[in-house]
Chain A
């Protein structure tokens, strides 16, 4: 699968070289027992994660507040599985490609995580694409870069600790 052209009005990108291997990034994103350790910036937590690693499989996370209340729970759909290269999932669809319901609010997005071996570790790119510019702006204003950046720091620290 080819990556669609980057459109700054519709897509947000976090790109960084991280001192872990592509295999470690791959494991962190695709194994639930790893996801629960880094996915949500502290003090928020991800007590539950579920990944069925095949196109159409479930990508589900539960996010809790510092008080331990569930504040977000979503079942997304795995789209692209290219081990240690590319992992794509979307919140627009649920498992089995069934579209998710956004009539009660929220907005869909698709996340493409690519990992490429480079000197010093892995070139990590998280690209999040949206349906309309308004969603892209909302997501940016929600603190996409800070949030995904903080989560990536946690991913690196956690994978290095193993």
Chain B
């Protein structure tokens, strides 16, 4: 399990796969075992567990073992980090659009 916050690019990379996105969505509804998570996917098990490994390495999910059952749950921090980054980008571009808006309005005034 990573101790420091994962790099943002690693988070987006981990999310850039339909299977891993679906796992994140499913875990948003609550913890689930490997078997439960694998069920919706018609995929060889080794490939599927590799997807879980990617998510866990990035810190998007964490797991604990109860006997032979491994249970996965969502870890919010990396997702919050990603949301924070997107929010910052939105602020920047809306500010620029506002400035453009003001500029265009001023251009029209002399007429």
Is B35 touching A44 in the complex (CB atoms < 8 A)? no
Task: Provide the main secondary structure of the chain B interface.
Answer: mixed
Q: Within 8 Å of chain B (Cβ to Cβ): is A162?
A: no
In the bound complex, residues from chain B placing their C-beta under 8 Å from that of A44 are 45-46
Closest to B38 in A: A71
Interface size on B, residues (CB 8 A): 19
Task: Provide the main secondary structure of the chain A interface.
Answer: mixed
Listed residue (A69, A135, A141) with the most chain B CB atoms within 10 angstroms of its CB = A69
Is B69 touching A69 in the complex (CB atoms < 8 A)? yes
Chain B interface: which of A3-11, A60-68, A86-94? A60-68
Picked from A47, A72, A135, A147, the residue with its CB within 8 Å of the CB of B35 is: A72
Chain A 27-64 near chain B by CB (<8 Å), digits 1 or 0: 00000000000000000100100000000000000111
Chain B 52-73 near chain A by CB (<8 Å), digits 1 or 0: 0000000000000100111000
In the bound complex, residues from chain B placing their C-beta under 8 Å from that of A147 are 44
Q: Quick one: which of B25-42 are within 8 Å of A by CB?
A: 33-36, 38-42
Known: A44-B45, A64-B68, A68-B68. A105 touches B35 (CB 8 A): no
Question: Which residues from chain A sit less than 8 Å from chain B, CB to CB?
Answer: 44, 47, 62-65, 67-73, 104-107, 135, 138-139, 141-143, 147
The contact sample of 10 A-B pairs, CB cut-off 8 A, is A65-B34, A70-B34, A70-B70, A72-B35, A104-B39, A105-B41, A135-B42, A139-B42, A143-B44, A147-B44
